[in-house]
Amino acid sequence: MRDMIVSELSQAMHELARGFAHFLPRLIVMLVLAFVGWVIAYIAKILLRSILRLIKFDRLSDNAGASQLLTKAALPSSSELLSRFVFWVAWLGFILLGVSVLGILGLQEQIARFFLFLPRLFVALFIMFFGLLAASFFSRAALLAGVNANLPSPRLLSISIRSVIIIFVLSVVFEELGLAEQTMLVTFGIAFGAVMLGLAIAFGMGGRDLARRFLETRFLRRKKEENEDELSPL
C-alpha cells in the first residue's frame, strides 16, 4: 500500500516535472515573442507617428471634426491616438501569438477569431474617419451656401446634414464590426424616420406661420428688389 502511494506520488511528480519541462520552453518562446512584439510594435508606433506628422494628419483630423471630439473626451491628438492604437494592436497580436504557442485548449479558437476580426476593425476605423471628414465638409458647404444665399437658420441646416451623415456612418461602422446589427438597423430606421416625420410635422403644421412669413419675405423682397439698383462686384 505504502509502496503504491509512493509510486503514484513519484509518478505524479515525474509527470509534473515532465509537463513543466514541456511547458517551460513554450513559456520562454511566448516571453520572447512578447518582447520581440513589443520592440516591433514600438518601432511601428514611432514610424507611424512620424509619417502622420509628415502628412499633417492632425490638420486633416481638425477638418474632419475628429479633433474636437477627442479634445472633449480628454484624449490625445488623432495622430498620437492612432499610433498608440497600432502599438497596442500589434503588441497584443504578438502576445496572443505567444499564448497560442502555449497550446492551451479552447484559447486557440478565440485567438483565431481575434485575428479575423482585426481587418474589420481597421475597415470600420477607416469608414469612421472618412465619414467624419465627409460630414464636416458637407455641413460646412451647406452652412456657407446657406449664409451666402441669405437663407433662414443656415446653422440648423448644417447641423442636420452633419447629423444625418454621422448617423449613417455609425450604422455602417457597426454593421462592419458585426456589433448589434439588428439593433443598429432598427435604431437607425427609427431615428431617421423620426427626424423626417418631425421635419414634416414641423414644416407642415408647426411651421405654417414661419413658412408663410418666409415666403412673404422672399416675394416681397423680390418685388422690392425690382426697384433697386444692383451693384456689380467687378
Cα 147 to Cα 162: distance, rounded to the nearest angstrom: 16
Residue from 52, 143, 165, 173 in contact with other proteins (CB under 8 A): 143
Counting contacts by CB under 8 A, is residue 10 touching other proteins? no
All three cell numbers of 188: 437607425
Q: Which stretch binds other proteins (CB under 8 A): 104-112, 140-148, 167-175, 209-217?
A: 140-148
Nearest distance, CB of residue 149 and other proteins, angstroms? 9
Counting contacts by CB under 8 A, is residue 55 touching other proteins? no
The count of chain residues that interact with other proteins, using the rule CB under 8 A, is 25
Q: Provide the terminal-to-terminal Cα distance of the chain, rounded to the nearest Å.
A: 113
Residue pair 65/138 in contact by the 8 Å Cβ criterion: no
Phi and psi at 214, nearest 5°, equal -60, -45
What part of residues 155-184 is at the interface with other proteins (CB under 8 A)?
Answer: 155
Task: Give the distance from CA 136 to its chain's centroid.
Answer: 15
Counting contacts by CB under 8 A, is residue 226 touching other proteins? no
Q: Look at the block and give the residue holding cell 474617419.
A: 129
Counting contacts by CB under 8 A, is residue 150 touching other proteins? yes
Residue from 29, 63, 160, 170 in contact with other proteins (CB under 8 A): 63
DSSP secondary structure code for residue 203 in this structure: I
Residue from 137, 168, 188, 192 in contact with other proteins (CB under 8 A): 137
Of 137 and 168, nearer to other proteins (C-beta) is 137
Of 78 and 171, nearer to other proteins (C-beta) is 78
Counting contacts by CB under 8 A, is residue 80 touching other proteins? no
Counting contacts by CB under 8 A, is residue 69 touching other proteins? no
Nearest distance, CB of residue 231 and other proteins, angstroms? 5
Of 116 and 234, nearer to other proteins (C-beta) is 234
Of 181, 201, 178, the residue nearest 189 (C-alpha):
181
What one-letter code names the amino acid at 139? S
Counting contacts by CB under 8 A, is residue 110 touching other proteins? no
Counting contacts by CB under 8 A, is residue 213 touching other proteins? no
Phi and psi at 220, nearest 5°, equal -65, -40
Q: Is 122 helix (H, G, I), strand (E, B) or coil?
A: helix
DSSP secondary structure code for residue 205 in this structure: I
Of 72 and 224, nearer to other proteins (C-beta) is 224
Residue pair 135/162 in contact by the 8 Å Cβ criterion: yes
Classify 185 in phi/psi space as left (phi over 0), alpha (psi -120 to 50) or beta: alpha
- Give the residues lining the site for other proteins (CB under 8 A): 59, 62-63, 137, 140-141, 143-148, 150, 154-155, 224-225, 227-234
